[in-house]
Chain A
């Protein structure tokens, strides 16, 4: 195999895929922070019976092959599935083969990577501090934002980075529900796959190598920053 016949680095299609991936990962991370924070707080604090089943559901995407997730999303979001019928009755059409569909799928797919670090951070939180805040007449929400959130910062940082990076690396799910549409659902991982399948190894190398470098930098950033942040001692 002659791998190293180097050609111009990235095509317009490659750049479009990179931009799309960036958009998808950013939006997914943002949504996950909004959903994941209350969910993580609840999981960290609750002693009800549903804690274990709920934690298990959140962790499912870690264990399940992405194709399984993608397959069920394709069916449930399709015209005969419950989500598909809901979106169709709302006049939104069905979600597979759309960018919004990818965002929703990615939210499911990356959920544990955002919820779990935040949950861990909340669990190690010293509750006496929250009580102290409330004796200083802080309302619960105020105490949450001015005490709990800042103290859980390393957890949030990890959550953002993992959520973003995991979405960038998503492949199986996108393949199942994306339909490989340029500028809409053709993300970097699919583009790499396409290059490899069409034996355009040089172009595949540029993108794939870029992914390796990107992932390394992201993880390096996470470990460096998290070492820098010390939890303030109570």
Chain B
């Protein structure tokens, strides 16, 4: 028994030192971005030789884990508020936070032709369930509620709302047909600019507050060159091309950059 324990202890210590030495970076990523990150990770490895280890989860949960000492070095969030909080809590490096993408909201149904390209289907009310991510906790849910409010449909539609705990579960509700339609992320239903299935209305950007998604270097990764390299890579053209192919808007998009520009018919932005 004693030898067994000794072996366990020694091998345990061995494993621990192993991971500390390796030249890779441990990334916490919001679930909705885990697929693009995989693709980025492959290219990043080819370009730099660094490996990324990915832990995907809901932004709020990752936040709680990081605050409680999780060994992540880079945090790729689904919002900008959570990285900011981590900076304030001195868990992340203040000057490292930047926006890597903007989320795009769509109303989607898994049925062809169900959602028209103006979103009129929302006004008909001819559906039993409208799926939305929890507006209290998920950015896409908050954005969805803003749209309903703008359309003056909030009170009429509220009894029909079913809430997913996050945007992935909301997508599940709609893709299984349990909800006829729902507010989901464009990145979930399209690839390379094409809708993968069903029908969708891409909600005009001015109808909801831009959903900036930020990344930040965590305190645990401040001495890791690979972590910094990954953040730089994320800002680069290669990564941005992948991000935009998944249906996100990239920060260099002219409309988003021209914050002060007011679009008029005479002067389109």
Q: Which residues of A are in contact with B by a Cβ distance under 8 Å?
A: 1, 74-75, 77-80, 93-94, 96-97, 175-176, 179-181, 193-194, 196-199
Interchain CB contact under 8 A, A180 and B134: yes
A interface footprint on B64-82 (CB within 8 Å = 1, 0 otherwise): 1001100000000000000
Contact residue among A77, A97, A176, A197 (Cβ-Cβ distance under 8 Å from B137): A197
Q: How far, in Å, is A175 (CB) from chain B's closest CB?
A: 6
Other A-B pairs beyond A180-B163, A194-B134, A194-B137, 6, CB < 8 Å: A74-B176, A74-B178, A79-B178, A175-B169, A180-B162, A197-B137
Interface residues of B in 46-102 (CB under 8 A from A): 58, 60-61, 64, 67-68
- For A193, the chain B residues whose CB sits under 8 A away are 165
Q: Is the Cβ of A78 less than 8 Å from the Cβ of B178?
A: yes
Q: Does B116 contact A (CB under 8 A)?
A: no
Q: Tell me whether B67 and A1 are in contact (CB under 8 A).
A: yes
Given contacts A93-B128, A96-B178, contact A196 B64 (CB under 8 A): yes
B interface residue numbers (CB < 8 A to A): 58, 60-61, 64, 67-68, 128-129, 131, 134, 136-137, 161-165, 169, 172-173, 176-179
Q: Which residue of A lies closest to B129 (CB)?
A: A97
Known A-B contacts A175-B165, A193-B165, A197-B60; the reply to A80 vs B176 at CB < 8 A is: yes
Given known contacts A74-B176, A78-B176, A179 and B162 CB-to-CB distance under 8 angstroms? yes
Instruction: Determine how close the nearest CB of chain A comes to the CB of B253; give it in whole angstroms.
Output: 30
Q: Are B177 and A78 in contact (CB under 8 A)?
A: yes
A78 and B176 alpha carbons, distance in the complex (Å) = 7
Closest 10 CB pairs of A and B: A179-B162, A180-B163, A197-B137, A197-B60, A78-B178, A79-B177, A96-B178, A78-B176, A97-B162, A198-B136
Residue of B nearest to A93 (CB): B128
State the Cβ distance, A130 to closest chain B Cβ, in Å. Answer: 47
Partner of B129, one of A1, A179, A180: A179
B12 CB → nearest A CB, Å: 27
Contact residues in B for A179 (Cβ distance below 8 Å) = 129, 131, 162-164, 173, 179
Whether B162 and A199, one on each chain, are in contact in the complex, defined by CB atoms closer than 8 angstroms, is no
Cα(A221)–Cα(B147), bound, Å: 51
Q: Are A176 and B169 interface neighbours, CB within 8 A?
A: yes
Query: Can you report 23 A-B residue pairs in the complex whose CB atoms are below 8 A from each other?
Result: A1-B67, A74-B178, A78-B177, A78-B178, A79-B177, A79-B178, A93-B128, A175-B165, A179-B129, A179-B179, A180-B162, A180-B164, A181-B161, A181-B162, A193-B165, A194-B134, A194-B137, A196-B64, A197-B58, A197-B134, A197-B165, A198-B60, A198-B136
